[in-house]
Amino acid sequence: MPDQAFIEEPAILIRCAKFYREGMSQQELYEITRGIWRIGTRREKAKYAFSIYKGVIKAVYEINSWHKAGTTSYQTRIDLSSIDSTSRYIGDRYEFLGEESEKMQEKYLGKSVAHYFERGNANPVTYINC
């Protein structure tokens, strides 16, 4: 069992179970983490986005900006290729642009965040210190 992570920074934990698979590229992992999420204004307080699979941190990204879903391009997300910002599916969804944070990955990568999720909580997005 991995060590527990105790996150001190303002962050969003994003559970990527639906699209995650072992052996995926860094670009694929980034794209399934960054969008598209039904997420409130608290997103603006988060400095980092953590990619989570089965309660374990797979990547950490520094968030540079938030955008209405469907307004930025994806290279590997075939499921989003036909969606644009006018789609009814988009609604109140958002996506971020960011980059891997080496400093944060050294600190947190591979650690467990399962303790941040209440049993039965199916929401893929959890705010920490926001």
pLDDT in tens, 2-36: 999 999 999 999 999 989 999 999 999 999 999 99
pTM for the whole structure: 0.91
How many residues appear in the chain?
A: 130
Owning domain of residue 35: 11-128
Could you tell me if residue 23 is inside a domain?
Answer: yes
3-state secondary structure string across 33-98: HHCCEECCHHHHHCCEEEEEECCEEEEEEEEEEEEECCCCCCCCCHHHCCCCCCCCCCCCEEEEEE
In whole angstroms, give the CA distance from residue 23 to residue 51.
15
Q: What is the pLDDT of residue 75?
A: 87
Could you tell me if residue 2 is inside a domain?
Answer: no
pLDDT in tens, 90-115: 778 899 999 999 999 999 999 999 99
Could you tell me if residue 3 is inside a domain?
Answer: no
Phi and psi of 17, rounded to 5°?
-60, -35
* Number of domains into which the chain is organized: 1
Could you tell me if residue 4 is inside a domain?
Answer: no
